[in-house]
Amino acid sequence: MKKSISWIIIITMVMVVSILNDCKAAFKDNTPPPASAPVLGTHNDITVEAAAAVLMEQTTGKILYSRNPHEIMYPASTTKILTTLVALENSDTQDTVTVGEEVKAVPNHSTVAGLIPGQTYSMSDLLLALMLPSGNDAANAIAVYIARRVKDESLDTDEAMVEFCRMMNQRAREIGAFRSNFVNPHGYHDNNHYTTAYDLALIAREAMNNPAFRRLVRTPHAVVEKPAVVDKAAEQSDTSDQPDEVCIHRWTNGNRLLNRTSKDYYFPYATGIKTGFTTPAGHCLVSSAFKDGLEVISVVLKSTQEGRWVDSRKLLEYGLNDCTFHQLLKKGDILCTLNVTNHAQDEPGQVNVIAAEDYRDIFDNEDIPKIQSTIVWNDDLLKDVGDNRENILLSAPVFKGQKLGRIVYTLDKVLIKQIDLVADRDIEAKLQPDMENTNTLPLGKHPNTVFVIGLLIICPGIFFTVRRLKARS
């Protein structure tokens, strides 16, 4: 007998929960998510020699220009942007690193910084050696040190390289660079070592959020002095000066946009970042520039020797001179006012419809006048009134923050943003509403009504079932 009653109670609870879920579903927002904003800067007057290029705004990550942004490309030494980021995030710049034979394990014809096996450098020194003269020897030294520091001190050189590349790929995925794969820390050509212009822009954007990285990539030159280490190979290096007691490294940044003596390519607003070249990759450059509060990142891949500078300046100038942040909407802005029926006597008969959030974005100056906006109301507000705003009536109660619709922004008929529109205040309903106002919403839209009807159906069944079971006992 008791078991039967227990089962009845359990079944009743399940049915009540089901009814409540149906009530929630009645108010579920089925608005589709906004589409991605269109790519700006695809104007016919912007041409680049690069096979792939991207111009990205730093703070928002918005694409201002692109050419083959998701095409698989080889990054060459622009790989070192990610190498530097991983190193900075997993060490201290004052760490002391004694480099080993890994600095000699570089491919033929590599660019090197002239690091000496057995010599001790700070991590800051190694990063300068990596990013200014683009030393592949520095890349190896950094990779081995970081992998052993993070994973296991006993890793041999090959194991450490594999571990560091795993860290690079993991960090790339975290950033959103899903079409990239890195198999070495320096970017020397490998068919399995690749990226895209878009991925590289994402990586550079993340790296530029690191103050130490930002200082590093705008450094024009550096001089590092170290006690001499007896090493005949190092004495023959063309990138180091080794007298009897001291070794002097002189490193120069290869980014001509930063070089004041490079009259044809110097760009006064440039702030970085990294060059790259291999025969398969072509001439590459990831660069950045800042002016009047606006910062942009340019990526050009597989350009010509001169083209990478011309392409980059062209894109940076376009972003800084022809694009502007524009505020279209502020949170709390009143879009319109709607009438409210069935409200309590001391409540107002109107409610303001306000923006739920800000909308500020960067646009091509020529596109700003072309942006159009339309208000789209929730379906339940349009019942029996069409889409004429003047005929829309709300029925109390109205709740502050209640979603009433959305404002849709388009550019050249392409959706660029949707912002929710909400009520700015609570409005209580009458205690005994008039009959003409009691059916403003369809029955299924009233969760309390549905709940009560459900209980009226269930409870008598429970009552008679329990009585029948008691009579049998």
Nearest CA to 122 among 207, 221, 222?
222
Q: Quick one: average pLDDT of 114-122? A: 97
CATH number belonging to the domain at 330-441, selected among 2.60.410.10, 3.90.226.10, 3.30.460.10, 3.40.50.11390:
2.60.410.10
28 has pLDDT over 70 = no
Instruction: Return d(Cα 56, Cα 299) in angstroms, integer.
Output: 9
| Predicted local confidence at residue 10, as pLDDT | 52
pLDDT range class, residue 471, cuts 50, 70, 90:
low
Where are the domains positioned within the chain? Answer: 1-29+442-473, 52-323, 330-441
In this prediction, what percent of the chain has a pLDDT beyond 90? Answer: 71
pLDDT tens readout for residues 63-104: 999 999 999 999 999 999 999 999 999 999 999 999 999 999
Q: Quick one: average pLDDT of 323-335? A: 98
291 has pLDDT over 60 = yes
Instruction: Return d(Cα 136, Cα 207) in angstroms, integer.
Output: 19
40 has pLDDT over 70 = no
In this prediction the pTM is 0.79
Instruction: Return d(Cα 345, Cα 42) in angstroms, integer.
Output: 57
| Predicted local confidence at residue 37, as pLDDT | 38
| Predicted local confidence at residue 241, as pLDDT | 54
pLDDT tens readout for residues 402-424: 999 999 999 999 999 999 999 99
| Predicted local confidence at residue 78, as pLDDT | 99
| Predicted local confidence at residue 388, as pLDDT | 60
14 has pLDDT over 60 = no
pLDDT range class, residue 431, cuts 50, 70, 90:
confident
305 has pLDDT over 70 = yes
Place of tokens 């590093």: 216
472 has pLDDT over 50 = yes
The residues near 78 (Cβ < 8 Å, ≥ 6 apart) are 187, 200, 274, 275, 276, 284, 285, 286, 299, 301
Q: When comparing pLDDT for 357 and 433, which is higher?
A: 357
CB-count exposure of residue 50 (10 Å: 0-12, 13-18, 19+) = buried
3-state class (DSSP) for residue 105: coil
Greatest mean pLDDT range, 77-86, 341-350, 377-386: 77-86
- CATH architecture of the domain 52-323 equals 3-Layer(aba) Sandwich (3.40)
Instruction: Return d(Cα 291, Cα 266) in angstroms, integer.
Output: 15
| Predicted local confidence at residue 49, as pLDDT | 97
| Predicted local confidence at residue 393, as pLDDT | 83
202 has pLDDT over 80 = yes
